[in-house]
Amino acid sequence: MTQPKLLVDRVTKTFRSNRGDLIALNNVSLEAPAKSFICVLGSSGCGKTTLLNLIAGFLEPCSGAIQVDGTAIKGASSDRGVVFQDYALFPWLTVQRNIQFGPRVSGMPHNEQEVIAKKYLTMVGLSEFARQYPHELSGGMKQRVAIARALANRPSILLLDEPFGALDAMTRETMQDELLTVATKEPKLIIFVTHSVAEAVFLADRVIVMSSRPGRIIADIAINVPHPRDRTAPEVTAHVREIRQLIAPELQASTAAADM
């Protein structure tokens, strides 16, 4: 068998607090090949972001193991680029210098940093904004910069934590289209966390559906619809209906738990 790019093997993550232990993930297992697009879907508090942070190396599992290319993850790595919902740009740096940050920290010569930054500025359609600062950009533009900055490190895995959740509906759809364009130009393993069923079905090759807390995988659904996809196509809307019916009981359970 071919070794998976990513292996999440029976991972459990518990957080300790004054109110007792909180099990965020319970016995989660997942395999993912290189050059695939996976969306992790579930209600708020189901452990989606915890799973992403474990893969990124920001957290350690309490039990189980996570491997990339057969090697256990030991902390964060530039080979796993991360894009957050809140952009996390450096406000004192220009757009271009934000993108150059990772290559600069890694010791890359300045002229090579500029070449890489300009490449990704062009890829995300922001070449003319290279000298602007983050506060001068719209939300969608800031997220493009965040994606370009993650890509500038040449990661083999790109992790996105609800990156379009704060955007208006039209900008969100535009950003979905642009992310797919980037994924086509530079194929890699992409893991995209979302709570939007429609977004997951539009973007992903596979949709991983998680239960309400404690988070576990309750479905792994292949989306065998070729790109480019029409959001209103019958085969797309059929997947959306299927997944919504699947998660309806989980949403009810999550709401009931929050009300207790």
Specify the CATH number for the domain of residue 22.
Answer: 3.40.50.300
CA distances (Å), origin 14, targets 20, 51, 60, 168, 214: 10, 12, 10, 34, 9
**Domain for residue 105, yes or no?**
no
Question: What was the pLDDT predicted at 251?
Answer: 62
Cα distance between the two ends of the chain: 46
Q: 127 in a domain, yes or no?
A: no
Of 62, 71, 51, nearest to 211 (Cα)?
Answer: 51
Q: What is the pLDDT of residue 259?
A: 46
Q: How many CA atoms lie within 13 A of 56 on its CB side?
A: 20
Cβ(118)–Cβ(150) below 8 Å: no
Q: Angle between the 139-151 and 95-105 helix axes, to the nearest 10 degrees?
A: 20
Quote the pTM value: 0.92
Domain membership flag for residue 86: no
* Residue 195 belongs to a domain: yes
The answer to whether residue 181 sits within a structural domain is no
232 located within any domain: yes
| Host domain of residue 25 | 1-79+159-166+188-260
| DSSP one-letter code for 78 | T
- Is 173 within a domain? no
Domain count within the chain: 1
User: Is the residue at 182 inside a domain?
Assistant: no
Reported as half-sphere exposure (CB side, CA atoms, 13 A), residue 27 has a value of 1
Segments of the chain with pLDDT less than 50: 258-260
pLDDT one-digit tens code per residue, 174-188? 999 999 999 999 999
Looking at the DSSP bridge assignments, the partners of residue 81 are 158
| 60 residue type, one letter | E
